[in-house]
Amino acid sequence: MSSQDLSIAAKLINGGVAGLVGVTCVFPIDLAKTRLQNQQGKAVYKGMTDCLMKTARAEGFLGMYRGAAVNLTLVTPEKAIKLAANDFLRQLLIQDGVQRNLKMEMLAGCGAGICQVVVTCPMEMLKIQLQDAGRLAAGHQGSASAAPTSRPYSTGSSRPYSTGSASTRRRPSAVLIARELLRTQGLAGLYRGLGATLLRDIPFSVIYFPLFANLNQLGVCELTGKAPFTHSFVAGCAAGSVAAVAVTPLDVLKTRIQTLKKAPGEDIYSGVTDCARKLWTQEGAAAFMKGAGCRALVIAPLFGIAQGVYFIGIGERILKCFE
């Protein structure tokens, strides 16, 4: 059975399983990416390795998985929507599954990128606050004047966000942050940075899905109609790396905009244009590529695993157990 014959239920299961496995494997690198991208002025971390080592020493092994719970909870619907939407749109737009049609493949990828943000935006909004908490704590250490002058969580509006008690500020949780955002700003609070998320995810999907499809097609076996697991994995890694690096500047903007709590002296941004302007004038062009290596190391195995699981057909096998 080819991938185009998979049922919607199987596609959702495959996407969910792939997301869970992938996130578990690469989450510490994603945490390093977030912290590196948010650094302004004096850097707390010199690079990915330095960030992970300092995080492990200061926060323990579990500190490298800050924010993993919300990611693991929501990555299943996110990856399921993304992969299933792309597959569905490819079937709808490309009548002949054998003949490659780059324009239609890009359009299908665009649709998948649009569909996924309904989950991606709030998921990353919450995840980033938890991932960046350790960087802020490290930045305040050794500065006696930092505590009274530090900024509260703020969205740049007249209604600042705070987590309430001192204990909550020391150890934030996704539930408390989400509850406070909903209370003070409504649903819009959880979807802060929606425009930046779309600007990142649409180009990513437009690049990734057609590139993967064409790379994967090179290894398709005529007898089975599918590529071997290893080929799908490598194709997913290669396509993911290219797409991830290509959209890193947009990912940096999204991360900065969605980060609510700032260290002393760090900028607050009113939108994508304001963020890009301040980043360019204050930190230079190189700032737009912060965390590019980390992002490639996150996305490559994440999508390699995703496509490998997807094409193995774990969802089909699970569904057959209930037949």
- Tell which wins on pLDDT, 275 or 169: 275
Q: How many structural domains is the chain composed of?
A: 1
Q: For residue 166, is it within any domain?
A: no
Percent of the chain residues past pLDDT 70, beyond the cut:
86
- What's the helix, strand, coil split of the chain in %, to 5? 75, 0, 25
- pTM, entire model: 0.82
Q: For residue 163, is it within any domain?
A: no
- Tell which wins on pLDDT, 134 or 157: 134
How many residues are listed for the chain in this entry? 323
Per the structure, the complete domain to which residue 63 belongs is given by 3-143+193-321
Determine which helix (DSSP H) or strand (DSSP E) holds 182, and give its type and residue range: helix 174-185
CB 25 within 8 Å of CB 301: yes
Mean pLDDT, residues 141-161: 44
Residue 284 Ramachandran class (φ > 0 left, ψ -120 to 50 alpha, else beta): left
- Position 314 scores a pLDDT of 83
Residue 32 pLDDT grade (very low, low, confident, very high; cuts 50, 70, 90): very high
Mean pLDDT, residues 300-317: 79
Residue 278 pLDDT grade (very low, low, confident, very high; cuts 50, 70, 90): very high
Q: How far is CA 289 from its chain centroid?
A: 16
Q: How far apart are CA 25 and CA 309, in angstroms?
A: 14
Mean pLDDT, residues 146-154: 43
- Statement: residue 322 has pLDDT above 80: no
pLDDT in tens, 81-139: 887 888 888 888 876 555 567 888 889 889 999 999 999 999 999 999 999 988 887 76
Mean pLDDT, residues 228-232: 85
> Six-digit token pair at 210?
């057609």
pLDDT in tens, 71-82: 988 988 887 788
Domain CATH number, residue 89: 1.50.40.10
Mean per-residue pLDDT over the chain, rounded: 83
- Tell which wins on pLDDT, 146 or 170: 170
- Position 139 scores a pLDDT of 64
Q: For residue 67, is it within any domain?
A: yes
- Tell which wins on pLDDT, 95 or 193: 193
Q: Which residue type sits at 132?
A: D
Q: For residue 151, is it within any domain?
A: no
CB 64 within 8 Å of CB 31: yes
Q: How far apart are CA 71 and CA 23, in angstroms?
A: 8
CB 49 within 8 Å of CB 110: no
Residue 264 pLDDT grade (very low, low, confident, very high; cuts 50, 70, 90): confident
Q: Which residue type sits at 43?
A: A
> Six-digit token pair at 36?
């590196």
Q: For residue 268, is it within any domain?
A: yes
Q: For residue 35, is it within any domain?
A: yes
Residue 2 pLDDT grade (very low, low, confident, very high; cuts 50, 70, 90): very low
Q: For residue 299, is it within any domain?
A: yes
Per-position b or e across 188-202, b if 16+ CB within 10 A of its CB: ebbbbbbbbbbbbbb
Q: For residue 164, is it within any domain?
A: no
